[in-house]
Structure 1
């Protein structure tokens, strides 16, 4: 692995690039003045949920309008993307010519970076990863690494990531799982949502945005539950008690399950392993209609589908 790192640095000089990013940061030329102003305000009002949410919405709009970063940073990002594109091609050739556990890690790490941003990534993060091609990485996995390391833990992990990257997107199909309810009874998701439009709500007692999102869905659930709509929540917790207390406090009227200590790797399978959660609206056949929709977006979809 060290040999690979040295070869890569000698060929592409990434350390020089990172130094230039650091220089921009020190010169306060990373974020635009408006973005820095919003960051200060979000920090100031971090304990005021209403104000904080409002500021974050403005911040997200700034991102969509491409006014979050300075022209200097955007130019450096473009240069970085082009360099990484060339490095990726060379790296894939290196992985094909020098298969080992070290290069298997490189393959797994590439897929992991794509999984991490599949659901919650910003557009510019997707753009910076656009040079990583899932099909090329899958080909390396199937033709070289899976046959060479059939029993290695990476092999199962990569297979799961490839499945998630193909399915967890609008138009893809939800991934089934079984998890206990608050009383410890095993419940299979597909049995609960079969034939219904369903919102799969992955949340956690410690995730404020997750809980605000879930509470906003209560009126939608009450309005459409008799028309073929359901919600199944899954809390990511260390104990059942924390999940039960949060669900009781927030008043969720639907079935909630619990994922204790990531026993079923549900968050990982749904490409939200580094976050508190995410929501996935699926139709009667299990096709994903929307990822992390607002309550208003869910209602608009249900209005059309469940007349």
Structure 2
């Protein structure tokens, strides 16, 4: 009998021990763990960028890739979204939706990005539904005309002769000349003289598909509140830069804040919505404070009060910005003692080394220069300059912004008419 009891005890202990040692699924609440492979690319890094970020002036997520494998952790108890690029040449990128926990990614080269696989993210699954509903119809149209466009390019019948002449000049042009040439290209587009008639017919079909997509997108945004609409809202605010439907965007953001409370993207997205509530031109300038090169805080209103002024948002890495500013430079020399001034704000990354070097080599840039390091004061956002290097604003002596990117003549007329 004792032997039977001992046998039952040992069996019970074995069962109990076996159950105790069965591994449980790990619940990860405050960390996003990414593991994966790359296919068809020798890229050594993946870049994850929030739609509103500018990788030239802000820190972004960089994931090292070695032997086509990668592993990365992001500390967050919120789901996040990014545009993912497989190399720093960027390009079109792929929307990526992550959530706390473990995920496995299979990432293809850009040409085959539709084959990317994300396992472990229900938000990525939501995006696939959205992509099929919103993007696929217009993609079908584009895919049908893409071979025809390629055929025109192969026959050298895509651009007009005028456009081809400009592109030929661009091959040997200086930075100043290239800006003027690109402006000529824009004029040709406005005049319908940039593309051949055959190309224009195909592009008009493409434009129709874009209209279809916008209608489907509008419908989706109106009827869905999820991480995908959050992504699309930040994308629209960053790249469309229009003032459409302020109330609709405000209402959507209120719903998103309720669904994703205390989300790390909330403050900046709300700020972008508010900054685009009113146009900059024809309104009073928006004041701000920024440091100069000696770290003294300077208030814009103190510099321009009662004067006609040019506010120049630029960057040392932005060639067109520098060219546009150089065009206005003679005005400063001519009128700086006649109730006119210029204030530059350089949008730089990490430090002011490049700015100091530039100013050392351009001694005639003598007007006040302030700095905006890593977009710390959101000055570009405040002035609705998104997705580009900068912008120039003409302000009259009463503080009203009367033009964006004004010509030499516009600035001089404002000075003489005060």
Structure 2-normalised TM-score?
A: 0.61
Deviation at 1:18, TM superposition (A): 4.1
CA contact (8 A) 1:166 1:172 kept: no
Whether the 8 Å CA contact 2:290–2:297 is kept in 1: the answer is yes
Q: Distance in 2 between matches of 1:162 and 1:78?
A: 32
Point out the structure with the larger helix share: 1
Structure with the bigger percentage of strand: 2
User: What is the CA deviation profile of residues 124-182 of structure 1, one whole-angstrom value per residue up to 9, with x for unaligned ones?
Assistant: xxxxxxxx943464254256334444522443333333334344543244333222100
Residue 230 (structure 2) aligns with:
104
Q: CA deviation at 1:4?
A: 0.9
Partner of 1:125: none
The SS at the match of 2:281 is coil
Distance 1:21 1:188, change over 3 A: farther
Distance in structure 2 (CA, Å) of the matches to 1:134 and 1:292: 25
Match of 2:285 in 1: 174
Counterpart in 1 of 2:377? 264
User: Secondary structure at the residue paired with 1:226?
Assistant: coil
Q: Which of 346, 349, 353 is 1:241 aligned to?
A: 353
291 and 21 in structure 1: CA distance in 2 versus 1, 3 angstrom threshold = farther
**TM-superposition CA deviations, 1:202-254 (whole Å, max 9, x none):** 12223333223323323312333333222110112232232123223222221
How do residues 1-307 of structure 1 correspond to structure 2 at under 5 angstroms?
1-9=127-135, 12-21=137-146, 23-28=148-153, 29-43=157-171, 45-46=172-173, 48-49=174-175, 51-115=177-241, 133-135=244-246, 137-138=248-249, 140-141=251-252, 144-238=255-349, 239-250=351-362, 251-305=364-418
Bigger radius of gyration among the two: 2
**Number of aligned positions between the proteins:** 287
CA contact (8 A) 1:218 1:253 kept: no
Conserved? CA contact 1:167–1:174, under 8 Å: no
Structure 1: gaps of 5 or more residues: 119-131
Query: Matched residues in 2 for 1:156 and 1:284: separation?
Result: 33
Name the SS for the 1:63 alignment partner. helix
RMSD over aligned CA atoms reads 2.8
Distance across 1 between alignment mates of 2:203 and 2:267: 34
Distance in 1 (CA, whole Å) between partners of 2:412 and 2:345 is: 21
Offset of residue 198 of structure 1 = 1.4
